[in-house]
Structure 1
Amino acid sequence: MSCAYLLVSHGSRDPRPEIAVQQLLGLIREQAKEGIFDSACLELQPEPLHQQIKKFAVTALAAGCDRLQVIPLFLAPGVHAMKDIPDEIALAQQALGENMIVDLQPYIGTHPNLKSLLAKQISPKNTASWIILAHGSRRPSSQAQVEAMAENLGAMVAYWSIAPSLEAKVKDLIAVGKREIAILPYFLFPGSITDAIAQSIDQLKLQFPLVNFYLAPPLGANTQELAQLIWDSINT
């Protein structure tokens, strides 16, 4: 029997992430020879995630699938990826029984090709000093992955919700004479946070008028490449 695949994103009141997820689903379906695909959200939905999983699993079972792969669209091993989603899957599995096996796949931030996706975002401005701006997590270990990737790419790391902040890292670079600074939001999709990042960079431009700032799009802006990365993770 074939597999069913469920992409799980965070969820947002902003429509742009959901539009991006549906575009990803369309691209993945074009590559798939079998199986059915859908998406769900961890938060801001009328139903909790475990009920969304159960509903999709029932549909998948009727279509001839006996296994459901849940793919978290998360970049870092924060609470959502490491606890919330596994807990919701356990609840769904309990409700479904043995008729459908629900497997949790690694979150896409672990994919080895993610580094090459970041490198492509950086390459148009390879003369700039780069800052990778991640969300940050209250789990200290969750920062290690992005910091290792940034070091490998010759970039610095700042965080939106914890220290060190973007402004602090910008000041560090200016203090050593850097006058071309580029920021890569370590986020999959545009939304309220990426809008706020753009506003903060506008403020930095006013604060430091002699510095040239460049803001790259979030990682999911290259939908085809991200879809390929997700497809590769499904087939690994």
Structure 2
Amino acid sequence: MTATTILLIGHGSRESAGNDEVERFTQTWRARHPQWCTELCFIEFADVEVEAGLARAAKSASRVIVVPLILNAAGHVKMEIPAHIARARLQWPGVCFDYAPHLGVCEPILAILQRQLRGCMQGLDMPDPTTTGVVLLGRGSSDREANGEMARMARWLFEETDHELVDLAFTGITYPRLERVVQRQVLLGMKQIVVLPYYLFTGTLIQRIARQVTHLKQQYPHLRFAQGAYIGFEPEIDSLLAERVQALMDGSLASVHIGDEVLQWQPHRHDAHDGHGHAHEHSHAHEHGHHEPHPEVHA
């Protein structure tokens, strides 16, 4: 029996390329950290989902460290994964289950976004940042804390650059949308606009964003646009997760608390999804189009 197993949890995507990226990251992780036994499962759209992943890990280890590969803390991080862990604790009382924090707002993610922004500016031949707007574009969630994490990251990006405008936009669920933010930045005199997708891996929404930027180029032929890549599993992500795993193992980081109330959570269908794999829930009416636009939020 293994003393400790690391269980990585990806979101899962109907776009096979997204799941393939998580699989490749796991292979790289295993090669970089051979001292740890590592398993992988997904929340949805995969052969091995969370319940099966926890069972597999618990049968071969006395301790399981659950590591969510999720950017923002919405329903999956707050309720779904904790509910599975709580039930696993009841089923395997002799196994210790620790829950690592989600990726969240942190310096490594900021560093990746800064690097992407520099690359986009170089592609635009280094224009004046005061006339170059930045749009941090995420999935959007019905959970205000998840949206708030994006707002924090936009503010951090604003603080660390000379860009006068670093705005938020969302591809679904909440507002403002990309076209509205671009319209505002144009009215405020921006000559170039950089779109930075706030996604961990590829998927159908990354393809949609590329089409949206193409449409915006046609709509604003006098503007120059640049689009960054999604965040991806850069070396900073590996280092961040390794630090957290080691901290959990040596006791310098406490496991995320899981309350008894999560046991009431029940699996739900993922009908209103995009196949990409980020913070989104499906139990709220306004996520299906029955809502009024929200006011814009700027950094």
* TM-score normalised by length of structure 2: 0.72
| Aligned residue number for residue 146 of structure 2 | 142
Q: Are 2:204 and 1:192 equivalent residues in the alignment?
A: yes
- Deviation at 1:9? 1.2
For 2:113, the equivalent position in structure 1 comes to: 118
Q: Residue 251 of structure 2 aligns with which residue?
A: none
Q: CA deviation at 1:123?
A: 1.8
TM-score (norm 1): 0.90
Query: Equivalent pairs: percent with the same residue?
Result: 24
Indicate yes or no: 2:104 matched with 1:109: yes
What is the one-letter code of the residue matched to 1:113?
P
Q: Which residue is equivalent to 1:94?
A: 90
Q: How far apart, in 2, do the equivalents of 1:9 and 1:21 lie?
A: 7
Aligned residue identity for 1:142: A
**Cα distance in 2 for residues equivalent to 1:27 and 1:49:** 21
How has the CA–CA distance of structure 1 residues 125 and 48 changed in structure 2, closer, same or farther, with 3 Å as cutoff? closer
How many residues align structurally? 229
The residue type equivalent to 1:69 in the other structure is I
Cα distance in 1, alignment partners of residues 246 and 31 from structure 2: 14
C-alpha distance in structure 2 between counterparts of 1:10 and 1:49, whole Å: 10
- Once residues 53 and 205 of structure 1 are traced to their aligned partners in structure 2, the CA distance between those partners, rounded to angstroms, is 47
Maintained 8 Å contact 2:201/2:231: yes
CA distance in 1 between partners of 2:49 and 2:36 (Å): 24
Distance 1:111 1:29, change over 3 A: farther
Tell me the residue number matched to 1:35.
36
Map of 1:1-236 to 2, 5 A cutoff? 2-46=3-47, 48-58=49-59, 60-61=60-61, 66-98=62-94, 100-126=95-121, 127=129, 128-154=132-158, 155-161=166-172, 162-220=174-232, 223-236=234-247
Q: Contact 2:120–2:228 (CA<8 Å) still a contact in 1?
A: no
Task: Measure the CA separation in 2 of the matches of 1:227 and 1:23.
Answer: 12
Structure 2 unmatched runs, 5+: 122-128, 159-165, 248-299
- CA shift for structure 1 position 35: 1.8
Shift of 1:231: 2.0
Q: Is the 8 A contact 1:24 1:224 kept in 2?
A: no
